[in-house]
Amino acid sequence: MTSKTENRVTTSHWGAFRILTDDNRIVGTEAFAPDPHPSAIPGILPAAVHHASRVARPSIRRGWLQGGERARELRGRDEFVELPWDEALDITAAELQRVIAEHGNGSIFGGSYGWASAGRFHHALGQVHRFLNVSGGYVSSVASYSTAAAQAMVPHVFGMHFLKFMWAWQNAWPTIAQHTQTLVMFGGINPKNSQVSMGGVTHHETDGWFREFARSGMRRINISPQSTDTPAGADWLPVIPGTDTAMMLGIAHALESEDRVDRAFIERCTTGYDRFASYLLGQSDGVAKTPEWAAEICGIDAESIRKLAHTMASTRTLITVAWSVQRAQNGEQPFWMAATLAAMLGQIGLPGGGIGYGYGAIGGVGVSVKRLGGLTFPQGDNPVTDSIPVARIADMLLNPGKPYDFNGERRNYADIRLVYWCGGNPFHHHQDLNRLQQAFRQPETVIVHEPWWTATAKRADIVLPATTPYEREDIGRAMGDSYLFHMPQLIDPLGEARDDYAIFSELARRMGLEQEFTLGRSSEDWLLHLYDEFRQLTRANGIDLPDFEELRRRNWIDLPVRGAEFAQTPFAEFRDNPEAAPLQTPSGRIEIFSETIADFGYDECPGHPCWRAPDEWLGSELATRYPLHLVSPQPGDKLHSQMESAIADQPGARPGAIEINPVDASARELGDGDLVTVFNERGACRARAHISDDIRPGVVSLPTGAWFDPDSEGTDTQGNPNVLTRDLGTSRIGQGSSAHTTLVEITRL
């Protein structure tokens, strides 16, 4: 690269922005002019890219090199030895070949979480999975920490994959603005979260649409423990965390007992309502799920629940459920119960009515855009069929061979000898990090590609320095976005960093698999190949794209695929004629009662949506010891833990701020800004008190994103809430993350 000043646009998961470089350094960023509400996240990027925590050279942990019985126990507390690339690659390839020869490919876990880069070729998940596939396969993971419970439940109810439902079968913002009269938001719709999306979101629209909703007089109801989970102006019902299903049941009972159910829709378009109604009315278990019953559980008074039911039945109502609601024990239930409630109202299939999931969780949901595929680096086929629910990695590493249940199947955890992690920092997003730390000491070898010395890299054996998206060329394109970007290489790789494709190509060559992995193509060859395939796809959709050199010159293109004309009414054909347009469920209808789930024989789910009290919530006995319910939302200043190295350097940024109601702060004699310890039986972390009326009494909120950094006594010094959260599957159906099922106590330092 030259040292001249550059000013070019690139994209990221949080949107497009200009990057200013000078003398081979990133010196600044500027907003992308077409974005109506650009994210502020890129402001910290220059400091993060050039941070001292960058991995400079290939590094191997000294204890792993020396071997011995205690080698694994030193992970996280050992020093690293820097080696030349050739030597480090020789050692890595030899270790992979040893493990495969001695234990088989079923002993390798391929970890990656998909958010490493918005680039379509240099996508860490695709790179590591292709490499492992051509090497003979690996144990994979399914679903995501964000939506695992929903991904398991929605196919049983609606007969389609959750991601298809979320992207293609929901009301778009223009439709909601035109038709919805009452927007009922369980878990809110937070613009903070919608500033990011997989692959990028160029037009940040959520704030703008909510201003439109306010102007139109739409009633907006935020059912969440935090008022800030929805833009200002919404009615706030501060529900107790983990009790959304109980509140929905109270609404449903009011509808049923007052004969406000659309029975014609129930009869034509659903199955199993009678079985559910027996439970709702208390005929099957002796407990009627009245608004008064619900009020005792969820903390919202019975009259408010009843009035809400009346409003929902008398207006065009869209019920939305945030991803956060299902990240709790029995998190499948609110997603199923919300669908049932929408069916009772009979508005599924009407424009602006029915049910929606994940609005505000990421930026692409609700956008009126024609979805295009393509631009995908092929991963190939995995010869190993074994997989785990994504949030069960610590269970797997700690319990090789142990049986577990998942969505009706009885499985056994693999005996993992080698973990290969490329893209992601599980010591940020996994639950009960002390337990995960113990789990990471079980495999014989942990290999990580990483630009920075994250907590995960520090607990690896082999760390190979990877480039950031600004040190390589790529193409950016998101499914829920209309923009296509050429992502130029803006600076030289820092230190001795290499891109993942270069690393895997060298490993493949040493293992005799170079042709299978690369197909004889360089990185530039792959970019040209993927772009040519995409041009053919767009041409078939009536869109002519320029050649790759022209895309390079233009930097970005706004494709003609966004606009109100691309909005559709989800389930309209099904509603009009369920026999001619059936769902892909066993009955062809919305399954309020599922024989499939009932046949699983799981006590926590009898075949219809139900209330099951979590082990940890404000109504449990444990609350006498840990009387505060902790929620751990996404951070607003970054994506997950990305760029945390530079953010943590900012004055007062760490430890992170924990939001607490004045009532709870007064009881603990806390002042705003006081340093505190947050603790429970699983661990402890430091935080800084932020006293606010925007959170319900009895609830505290500590965002994720801090790098796990415990002191000598094991207390995390940065404010990572996942030292406190519970590493328990949502249920045997989804086995997802139950991060929001967490009780804590707080004391002043």
Spans of all domains in the chain: 6-49, 59-139+387-479+483-520, 148-369+568-600, 621-748
User: Which whole number is the average pLDDT over 377-406?
Assistant: 98
Residue positions annotated with a catalytic role:
113, 115
Query: Comparing C-alpha atoms, which of 618, 560, 185, 529 is closest to residue 366?
Result: 185
Specify the 3-state DSSP secondary structure of 311: helix
Report the sign of the C-alpha dihedral through residues 71, 74, 76, 77, in that order: negative
Q: Is the pLDDT of residue 4 over 60?
A: no
Q: Is the pLDDT of residue 456 over 50?
A: yes
Q: Is the pLDDT of residue 441 over 70?
A: yes
Per-residue model confidence (pLDDT) at position 624: 98
Query: Comparing C-alpha atoms, which of 495, 490, 500 is closest to residue 526?
Result: 500
**Residue 114: pLDDT band with limits 50, 70, 90:** confident
Q: Where are the beta strands (DSSP E) in 575-698?
A: 590-591, 628-631, 657-660, 675-679, 684-691
Neighbours of 573 (CB within 10 A): 13
Pick the CATH number of 148-369+568-600 from 3.20.20.140, 3.40.50.300, 3.40.228.10, 3.40.50.10320: 3.40.228.10
Distances in whole angstroms, Cα of residue 501 to Cα of each of 63, 123, 131, 376, 490: 28, 9, 9, 14, 18
User: Which whole number is the average pLDDT over 170-179?
Assistant: 97
Specify the 3-state DSSP secondary structure of 295: helix
Give the separation between CA 1 and CA 464, rounded to whole angstroms.
23
User: Which whole number is the average pLDDT over 243-269?
Assistant: 98
Mean pLDDT of the chain: 96
Query: Comparing C-alpha atoms, which of 148, 173, 172, 174 is closest to residue 161?
Result: 148
Cα 742 from chain centroid (whole Å): 18
Lowest mean pLDDT, pick from 113-117, 276-280, 435-439, 541-545: 113-117
Q: Is the pLDDT of residue 6 over 70?
A: no
**Residue 479: pLDDT band with limits 50, 70, 90:** confident
Contacts of 413 (CB under 8 A, 6+ apart): 388, 392, 395, 396, 399, 400, 401, 402, 404
- For 476, phi then psi, to 5°, come to -115, 135
Residue 232, amino acid: A
pLDDT digits (tens, 9 = 90+) for 182-230: 999 999 999 999 999 999 999 999 999 999 999 999 999 999 999 999 9
First to last CA, the chain: 50
The counts of H helices and E strands in the chain are 27, 29
% the chain with pLDDT above 90: 95
| Residue 452 DSSP one-character state | B
Q: Is the pLDDT of residue 415 over 70?
A: yes
Per-residue model confidence (pLDDT) at position 79: 96
User: Which whole number is the average pLDDT over 318-342?
Assistant: 98
Per-residue model confidence (pLDDT) at position 210: 97
| Partners of 119 in beta bridges | 476
Specify the 3-state DSSP secondary structure of 486: strand
Lowest mean pLDDT, pick from 114-118, 227-231, 423-427, 447-451: 114-118
Contacts of 442 (CB under 8 A, 6+ apart): 72, 397, 398, 400, 416
Residue 683, amino acid: G
Contacts of 178 (CB under 8 A, 6+ apart): 351, 352
Q: Is the pLDDT of residue 5 over 60?
A: no
DSSP percent split of the chain into helix, strand, coil, nearest 5: 35, 20, 45
Instruction: Let me know: does 348 contact 581? Beta carbons within 8 Å.
Output: no
Q: Please state which CATH class domain 59-139+387-479+483-520 belongs to.
A: alpha beta
User: What DSSP string describes 721-732?
Assistant: GGGTS----S-T
Give the separation between CA 527 and CA 506, rounded to whole angstroms.
19
Q: Please state which CATH class domain 621-748 belongs to.
A: mainly beta
Query: Comparing C-alpha atoms, which of 487, 484, 457 is closest to residue 471?
Result: 487
Instruction: Let me know: does 724 contact 630? Beta carbons within 8 Å.
Output: yes
Q: Is the pLDDT of residue 70 over 80?
A: no
**Which residue shows structure tokens 């419970």?**
149
Per-residue model confidence (pLDDT) at position 735: 98
User: What DSSP string describes 59-117?
Assistant: EEEHHHHH-STTTGGGTTT--EEE--HHHHHHHHHHHHHHHHHHH-GGGEEEE--S-S-
